[in-house]
Chains A and B, each alone.
Chain A
Amino acid sequence: QVQLVESGGGVVQPGGSLRLSCAASGFTFSTYGMHWVRQAPGKGLEWVAFIRSDGNYKSYADSVKGRLTVSRDNSKNTLYLQMNSLRAEDTAVYYCAKPHNGGNSHWGQGTLVTVSS
């Protein structure tokens, strides 16, 4: 069965960096584009980034462009989100998600990132 497991969250100071990982199993990871979605405490869902299956196309929400970078290692079945120049407003639970047809059919459990001094 499809499984997505995020890791790497934690507390970081404003301006700091963090790298999130999403370990995928139960499907052929290298054939699927993948998404990152976040949710600030008590707020709605916000799409963050998408990466194509081969890693050669990426798109980002305007709110993170230039600071967050999505990447993947298909040999390790792992998706990444490199987060630099973090701000308080980046505090959120970060989910990785696998699309299927026209929706994200599988989600990880999420990892919490807290940006605070």
Chain B
Amino acid sequence: AIQLTQSPSSLSASVGDRVTITCRASQGISSGLAWYQQKPGKAPKLLIYDASSLESGVPSRFSGSISGTDFTLTIDSLQPEDFATYYCQQFNSYPPLYTFGQGTKLEIK
């Protein structure tokens, strides 16, 4: 089964910073990767799908990119509401096993 390895597992940053979170797939998954934001006690929220497409209503400071089996979520100019946990999920394996990365907790410095 395809594994997704997220890094870092936690991250401290300040309002206004630019941060990047990486998700590495153990095998090729084309562009079949999504990114989510989750706040405590809430359901996840889709940010990015197909590796780099911005979900409707999501601020443009969020972006996704792909290089081979490495996927990156970038948040430009962090806002207070961006401090949360972020997960990647793959959508392109066969048989379809839609695994998640282990998550990255983004905290205020």
Contact = CB atoms under 8 A, between A and B. Distances in A.
A50 B94 CA distance: 13
Given A44-B102, A44-B103, A45-B87, A105 B55 contact: yes
A59 B94 CA distance: 10
Q: What 6 pairs across the A-B complex have the smallest Cβ distances?
A: A103-B34, A103-B49, A107-B43, A102-B50, A102-B49, A44-B103
Contacts, number: 72
Which secondary structure dominates where chain A touches chain B? strand
A27 to B, nearest CB: 15
Nearest to B102: A44
**Range of interface residues on B (Cβ < 8 Å):** 20 to 34
Interface of B: 1, 31-36, 38, 43-46, 48-51, 53, 55, 85, 87, 89, 91-92, 95-103
Which secondary structure dominates where chain B touches chain A? loop
Interface residues of A, number: 22
20 contacts: A44-B87, A47-B98, A47-B100, A59-B96, A59-B97, A61-B97, A61-B99, A95-B44, A100-B49, A102-B31, A102-B32, A102-B50, A102-B51, A102-B92, A103-B50, A103-B89, A104-B36, A105-B55, A107-B43, A110-B43
